[in-house]
Amino acid sequence: MVNIEEKKDLAVDLFKQGYNCAQSVFLAYADYFNIDLETAKKVSVSFGGGMGRLREVCGAVSGMFMCMGFLYPSTDPENQETKKTNYAAVQRTAAKFKESHKEIICAKLLEIKRQPQDPNPSVRNAEYYQKRPCAFFVARAAEIVGEEINNCHQKKS
């Protein structure tokens, strides 16, 4: 079992330290999945800003999905059952995020135009944090991961 509030707070704190939305969610659970932080940072960095600032799937959601890969792994390409279990978890967690925020697409969540030609990360300052709701998305995604982990443990008990 994980302490969901602690993980949620950690994810938001990581975001406020400057990690992107995907990294913040994934790093919050790196210890649970026994992933060293440097590897977790590298694996998740490209998913920030809706995948490299393409403003596609929200990075917090991508971080959540990466966690599902560790919680419900599927490493044998022939094992259809483990793939099905993983995909069901991805769909279930996406639906929970949508219940809270109506959307999983970064540009729609932020109500902005997609600007893939601009790879420059946003400057993190007080104005950024005040006008961007990303910390709420990070918090909700981290909460959903914790719920999945705890539900998974209850099923195994």
- Burial, 22: exposed, middle or buried (Cβ in 10 Å; 0-12, 13-18, 19+)? buried
Q: Which 3 state secondary structure label does DSSP give 156?
A: helix
Q: Quote the tokens at residue 80.
A: 């259809």
Does residue 55 form part of some domain? Answer: yes
Does residue 15 form part of some domain? Answer: yes
How confident is the model at residue 116, as a pLDDT? 61
Q: Which of 29-33, 81-85, 105-109, 119-123 has the lowest mean pLDDT?
A: 119-123
User: What is the extent of the structural domain holding 23?
Assistant: 4-152
How confident is the model at residue 157, as a pLDDT? 67
Does residue 85 form part of some domain? Answer: yes
Average pLDDT over residues 112-131: 82
Tens-place pLDDT, residues 4-54? 999 999 999 999 999 999 999 999 999 999 999 999 999 999 999 999 999
Total count of domains within the chain: 1
How confident is the model at residue 7, as a pLDDT? 98
Does residue 67 form part of some domain? Answer: yes
How confident is the model at residue 10, as a pLDDT? 98
Does residue 11 form part of some domain? Answer: yes
Q: Which of 127 and 39 is assigned the larger pLDDT?
A: 39
Residues 54, 49: Cα–Cα separation, whole Å: 7
Does residue 138 form part of some domain? Answer: yes
pLDDT more than 90, % of the chain: 83
Does residue 157 form part of some domain? Answer: no
The one-letter amino acid at 82:
T
Residues 128, 121: Cα–Cα separation, whole Å: 11
User: Which of 28, 67, 57, 27 minimizes the C-alpha distance to 45?
Assistant: 27
* Angle between helix 21-28 and helix 59-71 axes, rounded to 10 deg: 30
pTM: 0.94
User: Which of 49, 32, 26 minimizes the C-alpha distance to 118?
Assistant: 49
Does residue 120 form part of some domain? Answer: yes
Average pLDDT for the chain: 94
